[in-house]
Every structure is written in structure tokens, then in C-alpha cells.
Amino acid sequence: MRYDSAVATTELSAYPAEGFEPRLIERFVSLRNKRVLEIGCGDGRLTFQYAPRASSVLAIDPDQPSIDEALYQQREGGASNIDFRLGSIERLTKPGAPFDVALFSWSL
Amino acid sequence: MVHALRRAGSYLRRGGTLISIRPHRTWRPSIVIVAGRSRVPVATLLNTAFEVNLSAAESALKRVVDEGSFTLAGVRAARYRIYLDRPSQIRTYLELINPPRPRFPRGGRARLEAIWNTAPRGARVEVTESLIVNGLRRP
């Protein structure tokens, strides 16, 4: 393996391995077929992990580059039941029907 | 933070669940060099600036429970580990964390280099992080 390809395939993350956080969340509430509001979704790292189990997800974050990255990942094949929006919980407008779960993911 | 929690609660149905995932305030990140079964502790990282934010988050969660906006469904703490191939990756790793970032205590980096330089082939740097999950229910 060449050095540059090794670097390109080594992904470093400060977050837990995939599936770790959804398992912890589900100790409190099942996300299956639930309507979820995620506050501080960032680039959708966690959102894409649990969204396939949820009925729908409204995921918000005040950081434009993060939301752009989340939308890019969604176009590249991420779950289609996620509505990524730029914004904060304080200024959220028209969120729709009440949610079953509100998730502050590393954002409180 | 209290306002944000109340707002989130206002969008929840009755009986709905609010989940907060955040770093654990007192279980600080630790660095260990591992090689086979041997584990050599190097340092516990410091982040006093961020601990203030975490204390505020804990207070906010307590307050919305005390005022009756939510009931406490439970609290769960967990640890997870991240492995780095070499000490130079620690800088990159720390840069992935939103500021304020943790830092080595005085002498910590030198200790890391010293231990790494005498570690056997195949050694790795293990970073143990921790998180805490609070579950709240809207009455």
C-alpha cells in the first residue's frame, strides 16, 4: 500500500464507534418508527446511524459547513427520512407534529 | 441551556423522551500505551475550561427536572476507546475535538515520547474517552 492511499483510508475520529451511541440511547427509548428531533446534529455523523430505524428525523445545527456536509452525505446515499436544517432550537420554526424523541447529541 | 431544554420539551409529545449525550465531566480522557497485554499509563488529559460547560449542562438538566418540566428516566455513563498508531496522531485527534480542547498536563507529552521510544514493536496509543447519557421524560 502506498503512503498516500494509507493516509486516505485511515479515518481518525474522536467519537465512539458506529452503533455505540444508538445502543445507549435505546436503553432509554426505542427509536423504531419514532419521530426524532436532533439538536446539534453537526455533519450528521450520529443522525445517519439511527435514522434508518426512525420514521422521520428533523436534524438542526447552527453551523452552515456542517449542514452542507450532512446534505452532501445524504445525497451520496444517506437516509432520505432526514430533514437537515440550518438553525438552533431557540429559532426553530414550523417543526411539524410533536416529536417522540428530542436528542441533544454532544450539544448541550 | 435551560431555555434550550424547555424549547425542546415544548416540541415533544406528552410522554416523549429527551436524551442528552455529552462528555463525562469527571471521567477525564486518559492516554495509555498498549502492547500486547501490557498497558503503560501516560497521562490524564485536562480541560478545565470545558468542565465549566459540562457543569452548566448538568445544572440545566437538574433544573428542568426540579421545576417539573421533565422527569428523570435515568442516567448512564460509558467509556469508549480509540486507538492511534503513533503519538504524532494525537495532535490530529485533539484537533477533531471542538474547542476548548483537552491538553496534556505538564510533562505529559515528554512522558508519552519517553515511554513510546522504549515500547515494543506493534505498540499503540489508546485514548479512553467517556460520555454520559441523561434520559428525561415529558410528563
Per-domain boundaries in chain B: 2-137
Q: What is residue A1's predicted lDDT score, i.e. its pLDDT? A: 40
The predicted model scores a pTM of 0.87
Mutation target for A interface from B14, B17, B54, B124: give the one with most A CBs within 10 A.
Answer: B17
Q: What is residue A3's predicted lDDT score, i.e. its pLDDT? A: 45
For residues A81 and A65, give the distance between their C-alpha atoms in angstroms, rounded to a whole number. 21
Q: How far is A14 from chain B (nearest CA, A)?
A: 6
Q: What is residue A10's predicted lDDT score, i.e. its pLDDT? A: 52
Residue in chain B closest to A31 (alpha carbons) equals B17
Mean pLDDT estimate for chain A: 88
Estimate to the nearest angstrom the gap between the alpha carbon of A3 and the chain centroid: 32
Q: Output the DSSP codes for A69-85.
A: HHHHHHHTT--TTEEEE
Q: How many independent structural domains does chain A possess?
A: 1
What share of chain A in percent tops pLDDT 90? 69
> Measured between beta carbons, which residues in chain A are less than 8 angstroms from residue B85?
10
**Which letter does DSSP use for residue A47 in this model?**
H
For residues A22 and A31, give the distance between their C-alpha atoms in angstroms, rounded to a whole number. 9
A15 falls within a domain:
no
The letter for the amino acid at A11 is E
Q: Model confidence at A2, in pLDDT bands (50, 70, 90)?
A: very low
Residue A104: CATH number of its domain: 3.40.50.150
A18 falls within a domain:
no
What share of chain B in percent tops pLDDT 70? 100
- Domain holding A78, by residue range, is 31-108
Q: What is residue B99's predicted lDDT score, i.e. its pLDDT? A: 81
